[in-house]
Structure 1
Amino acid sequence: MHASRWAQVWMMLGLLWFLLAIAFAPTNKIYQQGLTLFLWLPAMVFAWSARDRLKAVWQSQRWVCLMILLLATWGGISLLWTNVQDPSREAKRLLYIGVFLLFFPVFADGQANRVIRLLKWGGYGLALSALIAIIKFYGVEHKDWSARLAGLGQLSHPILGAYVIGVAAVWMLHWVPRDRWVQVVWALAIGLLGLFVVLSQSRGAALALLLSVVAMPVWCRDRRTVLTAVGAIVAAVAVFFAMQSLMLARGVSYRPQIFMEALRMIGEHPWTGLGLGGDYRVFTEGQFFDHSHNLFTHVAIELGLPGVLLWAAVWFGVLWQAWKARHTDLGKGVLGIWVFSFLAMQFDAANLTGTPRAEWFITWLPIALSSVLVWARAKPGACDKVAVLPNQ
């Protein structure tokens, strides 16, 4: 049933909704309702008919699957001592995450290129949202060019918006279209995505994007990638000198002090943490901060050392799966997404089990994509070959 045309169209809408409605949906409530209709529902409806696909993921990636189950179990147990008013909401969010991870192997149905195609479309759509945001922010609203660009919809936060747009730029860079004219559109899209990150003035996103591109030759190993990495370094130097005053004006934004205070808080509840979804504030330098600005310390504060060890096991297990598939297009893309996400979550991201939002693009999306690597490795030709630009 999951392989029928109408089922595939339904799930295509779900993935595109996840990728694009975060920018274009009028409200967060509508975004969440759309996910329920187009993503959660079909994943649950078609899970049984796709049980052989799910079994293949379990057999190939048993370590990652087991660590995810243990992490969810530990998170559920921690609801016994969490300080949130409604623990059932946190339990429901665990279910959302599970269904999201379930969706990708059901939708892919053994065809990795299907997921790549949808991510490409999502990248073009997010590039369009970046263009509209730039025109709206600086043109319609007449904001000064020194102001930090805010995106559309749920990407209106400069930092989180830059992370979503930045990770889209990374996956687009890994999948060059074959047609020459489409390559022009592809290049313009990447330019818009990169410009958005720069204008957002999110140094964490900019650094993650730069280092991800510079690292690409490690797994891509072709001349085009090397030239792209060199070009990124040259562009980064030019941007730094052009925006030096803006980049340095905020200093280190209390990140070292927040990190040290987060370690102290972890030491107060090292084994149990505060519980899943635990409410806390980080107080340092006379100020309160909503979270620890680092995903690993955030997980340790909520779930203790057992939780952060399980999360690290999941996260680095995904890296290993992607590395084994580095000869495939999807494997290369997941490696790039993983590197960007790992760097990004060191500076600002601190939400692991909240409702679907911008942070999911650098936490659960890489993990979900890794499940499709089962078929990318089995059939390397299933992914569209990365085109080589003319004269290369």
Structure 2
Amino acid sequence: MVLPAGWLALLTGLFWIGDRSLFHKLYYALIATPALIALTMQPTLSARLLRHPILIAYIAFASYMCLTLLWTDSDTSAQSLIKRPVYVLVLLLSAALMASDQAHLLSRTLRVAGVAAAISGALSYGYFLYSGHGILGNERFSGYGALYNPLLSAHVYGFFAAFWLASWFAARESAAAPLICLAFLSVVIIATGSRTPLLALSTTALWLCMLNVNRRSLMVILIGLILGAVLLYLYPSAIMSRGLSYRPDIWIEALKLANEQPLFGYGYEHQLLLELKGSDLIFNDPHNIELAVLLAGGLVGLVLWTVLYTIALVYSWRNRSNPAVVIASALLIFGLVAGLTEGRDFLSRPKEHWFLIWIPFALTISAWIGASSGKGNGLESSQRV
């Protein structure tokens, strides 16, 4: 029962822990260490899990990124950088372990964390208003503790909003709880003033509609259009006030830099400086995770990255009758789209970027193994190969 507790701490820790170093230690103590012990004690199971297609693709990608340390100019030691892909691998394996033993545990843990996220968002935003800050559209909600800026809060709360949207969509019968939680989280996301999760949630809704075209999908499209129109009318500043935030200029400079080392890139955790011509602005972040992969690993790295997503999304499409797969794929899509306008840290220690990339992959592995073993994922499922 240690791993479910560890996953609950991972999923909710940013809401209640103030020190990010303690968040890392929670992961090491409650997920990494128990998972490694379990894997060591069950070598046959470990070998079988490591043959999972997503894990094979991840190991290939991570191994190549470690190889790029031979030519990176990073100031961080190679030993420290190599640990980061290992942390991610252990996360993926921990989800696989839980699915091979009791597949429903991770699904139930995620649901509990989703409720905690809605409560945290409501209480945090309520305190924000109580402290004298303005309502939606006037001041940006930053969050508290480890969630100390609007973008970080938007990433994490957006992940759970996508979860509740997919949960409502995948449910065989309509339920009020997912919609209530989604409503709370939507208010918080709008209050952050970040447009990234709004774009990602819209794309997630379209993905869900593509998975299953029915009355509920048409309802999602209609509600989305109405909410978008209302938001533009009541709070236009939430979307329009900051323009494109230099994103096209940053991406153009990043592509120019990538073109100088197109095949193998500049190496993992390389030093990046993007100077925008005609301004005094310098960025060390391409604000696009795929561009970050391209700069670090070149076209080779980007191809391996694309293979990783392709395997997961093709499986999700083929097994779209499985509710657990639908939910995991929605989180994958949310993170993928959110990463198109934000982020650089595709391999890191536990942080908010894990909610965009590696936690969705772990949940996909869990749904895949649960369906393959016939144990389910706490939801009724049927696999299509």
| TM-score, scaled to structure 2 | 0.90
Following superposition, the deviation at residue 55 of structure 1 comes to 4.6
Letter in 2 for 1:156: Y
Q: Pick from 303, 308, 328 the counterpart of residue 302 of structure 2.
A: 308
Instruction: Output the CA distance in 1 between the equivalents of 2:216 and 2:302.
Output: 38
The equivalent of 2:166 in structure 1 is 174
Task: Tell whether 2:260 aligns with 1:265.
Answer: no
Contact map agreement 1:325 1:377 (CA 8 A) in 2: no
Contact 2:262–2:298 at 8 Å: present in 1 too?
Answer: yes
Per the alignment, do residues 54 and 193 of structure 1 end up closer, same or farther by CA in structure 2, a change over 3 Å counting?
A: farther
Q: Give identity over the alignment, percent.
A: 22
More deviation, 154-163/297-306: 154-163
Matched, 1:87 2:82: no
Q: For 1:269 and 1:190, how far apart are their aligned partners in 2? A: 43
- State the superposition RMSD in angstroms: 2.3
1:146-225 correspondence runs (5 A): 146-176=138-168, 183-225=175-217
**1:347 deviation in Å?**
0.6
The residue correspondences of 1:312-351 to structure 2 (distance < 5 A) are 312-351=306-345
How many Å separate the matches in 2 of 1:126 and 1:53? 33
Partner SS state of residue 336, structure 1: helix
In the alignment of these two chains, the number of paired residues is: 375
CA distance in 2, matches of 1:381, 1:29: 35
* Unpaired stretches in structure 1, ≥5 consecutive residues: 1-8, 387-392
Q: Which letter maps to 2:56?
A: L
- Partners in 2 of 1:277 and 1:325 — Cα distance? 36
Residues 1-392 of structure 1 mapped to structure 2, 5 A cutoff = 9-51=1-43, 53-59=45-51, 61-62=52-53, 64-85=54-75, 86-143=77-134, 145=136, 146-176=138-168, 183-285=175-277, 286=279, 287-372=281-366, 373-379=368-374, 382-385=377-380
State how far apart, in whole Å, the 2-side matches of 1:325 and 1:356 are.
29
The structure-2 alpha-carbon separation of the partners of 1:230 and 1:49, relative to structure 1 and needing over 3 Å to count, comes to: farther
Quote the Cα distance in structure 2 between the aligned partners of 1:144 and 1:219.
36
8 A Cα contact 2:55 2:92, kept in partner: no
Q: TM-score, normalised by structure 1?
A: 0.89
Aligned equivalents of 1:169 and 1:333: distance in 2? 11
CA–CA distance in structure 2, aligned partners of residues 380 and 332 of structure 1:
17
CA 246–195 in structure 1, closer or farther in 2 if over 3 Å, else same? closer
Residue aligned with 2:133, SS:
coil
Structure 1 residue matching 2:91: 3-state secondary structure: helix
Name the CA shift for 1:305/1:128 in 2 (closer, same or farther; >3 Å).
Answer: same
Verify the 8 A CA contact 2:286 2:344 in the aligned structure 1: yes
